[in-house]
Amino acid sequence: MLIGIDVGGTTTDAVLIRNGEVYSTAKVSTERGNLLKSLLNALDEVSRGVPPEQLERVVFSTTVITNLIAEGKTDRVALLLIPGPGVNPSSYVFPDSFYLKGAMDFRGREIQPLDEAEVRETVNRIREQGYFRAAVVSKFGQRNPSHELRIEEILREMYPDCQVGLGHKVSGKLNFPRRIATSMLASATGERYQEFVAEIKKALEERDIRAPVYILKADGGTLPIEKSVEFPVETIFSGPAASTIGALALTPEGQTSVVAVSYTHLTLPTNREG
């Protein structure tokens, strides 16, 4: 048996599939301040009377990260950026940015060493300004992350209470501005998402549900819930993705337009070639 649960702006819907057919459904009110409770209420209702050992897979869609971003409730993150030559830092509009000297070329060869005195001065400024999270992103850090790793070492030495994220671990793509944004959002939402996942795992254990659990990603794929903690930004459009997949399953091919409405945002998903 398979369970799918989708958190919407007003209701949370769940379906249990048995042998390829709908076995039971549930619809409960979504509590804006407690999405976890809505998820678990739907889970309990849709699986009532079903032995937990018969469940093979549970998939959630969640708007936890989306809502944090839309409502401006993310944590502050200090961005330690190493743009290197060829980039005008003033062209970026990222808040809380601290630009550092140092550079790798596109092959990962160091062409300008880090200025460690500058790094240490910046760490002092971050601490004095009350940041508790930092993201370190180098332009070609995915080709050679040694600068990011060295800055992480200095941060942990001088400011051990600061949580540090590294750009090369968040994304392997070359697009520097997007990697900055992704790293910032991952650091800004990571702790709260970890709390959400921990509560889900605890609740499933209490219900003796041992089936593998997945989170729906923005592209319609799924991510094991344990792995999603490492990449919380993958779940940003989890809710709209669920709406899109449902619409594609219920309408003729080529005749589907989707508008996903939540209490915090409106999304117009795009489907290309299924």
Instruction: State the pTM of this model.
Output: 0.72
Query: Which tens digits make up the pLDDT trace of 97-143?
Result: 999 999 999 999 999 999 999 999 999 999 999 999 999 999 999 99
Phi, psi (deg, nearest 5) at residue 127: -65, -45
Q: Tens place of pLDDT for every residue, the chain, 274 residues?
A: 899 888 766 788 899 999 888 899 999 888 867 777 888 888 899 998 899 999 999 988 877 777 777 777 778 999 999 998 887 766 777 889 999 999 999 999 999 999 999 999 999 999 999 999 999 999 999 999 999 999 999 999 999 999 999 999 988 888 899 899 889 988 888 888 888 888 888 888 888 888 999 988 877 788 898 888 888 777 776 666 666 666 666 666 665 555 555 544 445 455 545 4
User: Which domains are assigned to the chain?
Assistant: 2-70+192-267 (3.30.420.40), 78-187 (3.40.50)
pLDDT of residue 246: 65
One-letter amino acid for residue 114 of the chain: L
Facing residues of 78 across strands?
134
